[in-house]
Amino acid sequence: MMAEPVVPRPDAPKGSASGNTPLWEVFIRARDGLAHRHVGSVHAADAALALQAARDVYTRRGEGLSLWVVPSGAIVASDPADKAMLFEPTGSKIYRHPTFYEVPDEVGNM
Amino acid sequence: MYTQALNTPFGDPEDDDAERTARFQARIDADERIEPNDWMPESYRRTLIRQISQHAHSEIVGMLPEGNWITRAPSLRRKAALLAKVQDEGGHGLYLYAAAETLGVTREELVGQLLTGKAKYSSIFNYPTLSWADIGAIGWLVDGAAIMNQIPLCRCSYGPYARAMIRICKEESFHQRQGYEIMLTLAQGTAAQKAMAQDALDRWWWPSLMMFGPPDSQSQHSDVSLRWRIKRFTNDALRQKFVDATVPQALHLGLAIPDPDLRRNEATGHWAFGAIDWAEFRRVLAGDGPCNRERLATRQRADADGAWVRDAALAWAAKQRARDRQAAA
């Protein structure tokens, strides 16, 4: 994994001839049976060029069998400031894990 | 993953908050990674933007001295390897620009700083590649020094930079080996080939040592960068590590390192080396190296010559979008 997806600053011009080429996030399936995984980003004018750029930049050494490119602006993310509110409550819910429950040894694996 | 709304704007007044800065430093001290939308002091952000973008520019400008020899490589094997290496450098530049963009700058801004001469890049790329042996010396010494610099950056406190460096380091090791193989072939060749290899070592040795930056006593950014764990070792420590690793490799080639003061300290096991000409370093960094103007002019020309391609691609994309909208209506 490498560069994080981020959309250009709000004041940056987007996609005009004198401005910036849109940003895309790149995901690679390393081999069949695995999920696509985020590897970085590329700039490209459209989806076909984004795929081409992703292929050139991120798969020079047999890194994968399938590529996804997604417009960076299409990603909705949680705010890091909400980390505690969103994720800490699960810390106390230990009864969601199998090890919380006691099963006699003689019953065997369950 | 991050959205536009989450990007901290530059100059946030909160940034000077002593309490937040202390909390930030505590995270660094605990060896936590900082991610793009986490709060960070403005100076940390600026330092990283400067360092990562200079690193990216160095990869891009670094394509030029080697690109100079692609059409004249002595065999198809060498040519294919050199092409792959130069292509890697382009890729490394792009990974790094992407990492810098997570800090709230655009690649266009950063490239603009390079093209106007405002941004610096590694001074080593302002030296010319005069013979084929220079391609060997660059792979062996310049990429060797770069790897020495970059391996500790894989543990840099800023997540996106560290992740880019992991990928880059994985790809770089072929660069150094292909360079050393070129040197070995020349060193074992005819007297003229061996002399060519020696000449390349003579010219690239000192500039390679300068790649680690000014001595610790003069380095402006070292202290802060170490405290923030952007850097893990000082310039002088890395330089010494490089010399210790490289001298035995030169001995194996049967080539002489152009330093009469070079000798092994039996007590420490380190190789002591002579004084570096820092005046030359500053001169090249300030723009007066052998190739500064040529390098910048080449990048400016590439940017200007490629403008119509970028414009055409954007115009085509806009036209396709308009057609899709019409078809949907």
Q: Is A83 on the interface with B (CB under 8 A)?
A: no
- Nearest to B65, CA basis, from B171, B141, B152: B141
Q: Is A75 on the interface with B (CB under 8 A)?
A: yes
Q: Answer for the pair B4, A73: CB distance below 8 angstroms, yes or no.
A: yes
- Nearest to B222, CA basis, from B61, B47, B79, B1: B47
Task: Please write the tens of the pLDDT for every residue from B173-193.
Answer: 899 999 999 999 999 999 999
Confidence (pTM): 0.88
B96: nearest CA partner in chain A: A3
How distant is the Cα of B87 from the closest Cα of chain A, in angstroms? 9
Residue B14's pLDDT is what? 52
Does pLDDT of A95 surpass 80? yes
Task: Please write the tens of the pLDDT for every residue from B57-108.
Answer: 999 999 999 999 999 999 999 999 999 999 999 999 999 999 999 999 999 9
- Nearest to B212, CA basis, from B326, B123, B274, B286: B123
**Contact across the interface for A8 and B99, Cβ inside 8 Å:** no
Q: What is the interface pTM, i.e. ipTM, of the complex?
A: 0.84
